[in-house]
């Protein structure tokens, strides 16, 4: 089944929840109002629906291959990437100074969702380049920027991030790749990096590796890690490509999903050492890499929304076509399409509500990022930065975990046919699993939410968000509609559950860390559920007003119904999760280790 970009829903969020016209009043974004967003999204949809989505199925069946150190991507990928780059899509959110479009993240995030819905394996290449660009913009010298940024922003070259080693997964203190300084200011890099997405491929002229390594004599642990640019091909003074650097792909992984994306093992320094250029200062590499990782974590959350949308569209198409059994209410006196069955509707509504809720949350987070970087008022920038930082683990953690549930439901709607590869539903399920793992597992996102985002400020940012939610509750309370009252009841209960958990986390992280971290992932899921439900409650208010004016009746009625379903069936879980966190920690840790 083909992919159709959900433009109406994206533009609804951008206009009414992310308030794009307010963003367009900020410096540098004056041309980026609603009309620009609409034009950009419509063009993006054409490329993704017509060129990139049709390659998704073939990529799963004919993944990238390695021969004699050369990786060849799926047929069609190279040409599609050329069209993507020539259209200026890689540079959408990046500065005009380096050839980018300079558009807000609020627009860029929606385009990122379309690309990942169309073809997640393909989309990983530009995703990693975005992270490399962010790191160089923030910490690169003028010389590094002049050498690499324009070609990365244009998509002529692509970027990677090299963290993981065979002995160093999430624990980067164990990184052993070494960097030997040379008199000319460059370094020789020696070591092995694994799980390097698009670490080798045939879609671009050069690959710019950003590599974590330890300078000889540096302190042990994370305090002794530096970041280096290591190009596949050396770059001459005039910008032309020179000799091949001493970095080579020795194998690519055979994976459960995202099969078309080459995941490389890269060997640095087998022939005398790869030439590397220090980014920023020695021993501050992890700090710079976090810039890449934060950009990538948000983007992976968007991948979760994207794969959920694709699975939902496929399940709806199947449910409308597949004829099985009479409806239980006797409305049709013969076997009917399965979409008439209440439980199939429940599954489809669950898929839809999760996807729309997380899309709304991600859109609002993107708007906060834009305000944090571009608003003229320093206090407004600071408030939005704190909100966005709180949102990143929610967007990443909640949206990816929900994508597993949604893609699993997609298989379930197909019944036995979902278990058969030829229908295509299984690919989305397989592709979704990696999202809860890479760029920091769900548990690592939860650790970040507990430690950096909640305990550190005594829960103040979290409680500030709860106060914003209370303001939405007050708006709902002012409505006379059945749906607004029902959503209010669930939203208030979920917020109160969240505040209880925030108090528990802030009050016990130091004294009883095991008790708090036993509930860290449930806390993340509760927070994500609440914020997604809050955004759908805001959407309901907008939709009811539009209905009162007789505007876009079918779309707005569906938005109200989806928000009500989310409140009744998903947001209603929050109080139970609160109980498991606040009252259930002991049973997580009580069992003796030798009893496992």
Among 209, 222, 188, which Cα is nearest to 266's?
Answer: 209
For residue 292, the model assigns a pLDDT of 82
Domain ranges across the chain? 7-63+79-151, 157-283, 442-590
pLDDT, tens digit, for every residue of 182-219? 999 999 999 999 999 999 999 999 999 999 999 999 99
437 by Cβ neighbours in 10 Å (0-12 / 13-18 / 19+) ranks as middle
For residue 290, the model assigns a pLDDT of 86
Rounded CA separation 374/27 (Å): 6
| Active-site amino acid positions | 439
Among 572, 507, 506, 566, which Cα is nearest to 535's?
Answer: 566
For residue 294, the model assigns a pLDDT of 87
Domain 7-63+79-151 fold is Butyryl-Coa Dehydrogenase, subunit A; domain 1 (1.10.540)
pTM of the model: 0.98
34 by Cβ neighbours in 10 Å (0-12 / 13-18 / 19+) ranks as middle
8 Å CB contact between 165 and 177: yes
Level-2 CATH architecture, domain 157-283: Beta Barrel (2.40)
Average pLDDT, the chain: 97
| For range 574-578, the mean pLDDT | 98
Rounded CA separation 242/327 (Å): 68
- Confidence band (pLDDT; 50, 70, 90) for 1? low
| For range 402-421, the mean pLDDT | 98
Running DSSP on this structure, what letter comes out for residue 322?
A: -
pLDDT, tens digit, for every residue of 12-66? 999 999 999 999 999 999 999 999 999 999 999 999 999 999 999 999 999 999 9
Tokens 């009309």 correspond to 35
pLDDT, tens digit, for every residue of 105-130? 999 999 999 999 999 999 999 999 99
8 Å CB contact between 54 and 46: no
Rounded CA separation 448/352 (Å): 28
Tokens 């805001």 correspond to 538
Rounded CA separation 145/241 (Å): 16
* Helix axes 553-569 and 342-374, enclosed angle (nearest 10): 100
Tokens 């009414």 correspond to 16
- Whether 293 shows a pLDDT value over 90: the answer reads no
For 183, phi and psi rounded to 5 degrees? -60, -25
DSSP string, 243-294: EEPSEEEEEE---SS-TTS-EEEEEE-TTS-EEEEE-SSTT-HHHHHHHHHH
User: What are the residue ranges of helices labelled H in 434-571?
Assistant: 442-450, 460-477, 482-508, 513-518, 520-548, 553-569
Residue 58, strand partner residues: none
> Structure tokens of 52?
């990139």
| For range 76-100, the mean pLDDT | 98
> Structure tokens of 197?
């997405």
pLDDT, tens digit, for every residue of 448-477? 999 999 999 999 999 999 999 999 999 999
DSSP string, 393-411: HHHHHHHHHHHHHHHHHHH
8 Å CB contact between 106 and 367: yes
User: Can you count the helices (H) and strands (E) in the chain?
Assistant: 20, 12
| For range 428-447, the mean pLDDT | 97
Tokens 């990529």 correspond to 59
- Confidence band (pLDDT; 50, 70, 90) for 564? very high
pLDDT, tens digit, for every residue of 315-343? 999 999 999 999 999 999 999 999 999 99
């Amino acid at each position: 089944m083909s992919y159709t970009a959900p433009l109406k829903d994206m533009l609804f969020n951008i206009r009414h929840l992310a308030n794009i016209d307010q963003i367009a009043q900020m410096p540098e974004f004056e041309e980026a109002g609603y009309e620009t967003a609409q034009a950009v999204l419509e063009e993006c949809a054409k490329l993704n629906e017509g060129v990139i989505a049709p390659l998704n199925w073939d990529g799963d069946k004919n993944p990238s291959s390695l021969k004699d150190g050369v990786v060849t991507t799926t047929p069609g990928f190279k040409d599609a990437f050329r069209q993507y780059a020539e259209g200026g899509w890689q540079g959408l959110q990046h500065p005009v100074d380096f050839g980018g479009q300079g558009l807000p993240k609020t627009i860029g995030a929606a385009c990122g969702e379309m690309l990942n819905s169309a073809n997640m394996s393909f989309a990983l290449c530009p995703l990693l380049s975005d992270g490399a660009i962010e790191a160089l913009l923030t910490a690169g010298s003028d010389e590094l920027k002049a050498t690499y940024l324009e070609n990365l922003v244009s998509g002529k070259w692509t970027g990677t991030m090299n963290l993981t080693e065979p002995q160093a997964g999430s624990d980067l203190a164990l990184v052993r790749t070494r960097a030997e300084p040379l008199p000319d200011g460059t370094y020789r890099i020696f070591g092995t990096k694994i799980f390097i997405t698009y670490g080798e491929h045939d879609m671009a002229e050069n690959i710019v590796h950003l590599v974590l390594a330890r300078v000889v004599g540096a302190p042990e642990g994370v305090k002794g890690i530096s970041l280096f640019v290591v190009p596949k091909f050396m770059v001459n003074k005039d910008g032309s490509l020179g000799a091949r650097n001493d970095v080579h792909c020795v194998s690519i992984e055979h994976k459960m999903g995202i099969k078309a994306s080459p995941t490389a093992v890269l060997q640095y320094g087998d022939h005398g050492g790869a030439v590397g250029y220090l980014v920023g200062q020695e021993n501050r590499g992890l700090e710079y890499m976090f810039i890449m990782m934060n950009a990538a974590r948000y983007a992976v959350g968007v991948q979760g929304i994207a794969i959920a949308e694709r699975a939902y569209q496929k399940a709806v198409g199947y449910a409308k076509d597949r004829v099985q059994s009479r409806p239980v209410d006797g409305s049709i006196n013969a076997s009917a399409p399965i979409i008439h069955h209440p439980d199939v509707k429940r599954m489809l509504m669950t898929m839809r509500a999760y996807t729309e809720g997380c899309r709304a949350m991600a859109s609002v987070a993107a708007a906060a990022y834009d305000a944090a970087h571009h608003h003229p008022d320093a206090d407004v920038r600071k408030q939005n930065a704190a909100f966005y930082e709180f949102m990143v683990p929610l967007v990443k953690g909640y949206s990816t975990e929900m994508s597993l549930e949604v893609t699993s439901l997609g298989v379930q709607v197909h019944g036995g046919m979902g278990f058969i590869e030829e229908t295509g539903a299984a690919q989305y399920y397989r592709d979704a699993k990696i999202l809860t793992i890479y760029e920091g597992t769900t548990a690592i996102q939860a650790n970040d939410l507990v430690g950096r985002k909640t305990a550190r400020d005594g829960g103040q940012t979290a409680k500030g968000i709860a106060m914003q939610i209370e303001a939405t509750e007050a708006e709902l309370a002012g409505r006379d509609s059945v749906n607004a009252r029902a959503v209010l009841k669930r939203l208030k209960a979920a917020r109160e559950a969240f505040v209880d958990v925030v108090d528990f986390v802030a009050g016990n992280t130091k004294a009883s860390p095991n008790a708090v971290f036993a509930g860290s992932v449930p806390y993340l899921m509760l927070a994500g559920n609440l914020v997604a439900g809050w955004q759908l409650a805001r959407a309901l208010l907008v939709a009811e007003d539009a209905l009162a004016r007789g505007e876009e009746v079918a779309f707005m009625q569906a938005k109200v119904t989806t928000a009500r379903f989310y409140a009744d069936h998903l947001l209603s879980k929050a109080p139970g999760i609160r109980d498991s966190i606040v009252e259930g920690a002991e049973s997580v840790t009580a069992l003796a280790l030798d009893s496992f």
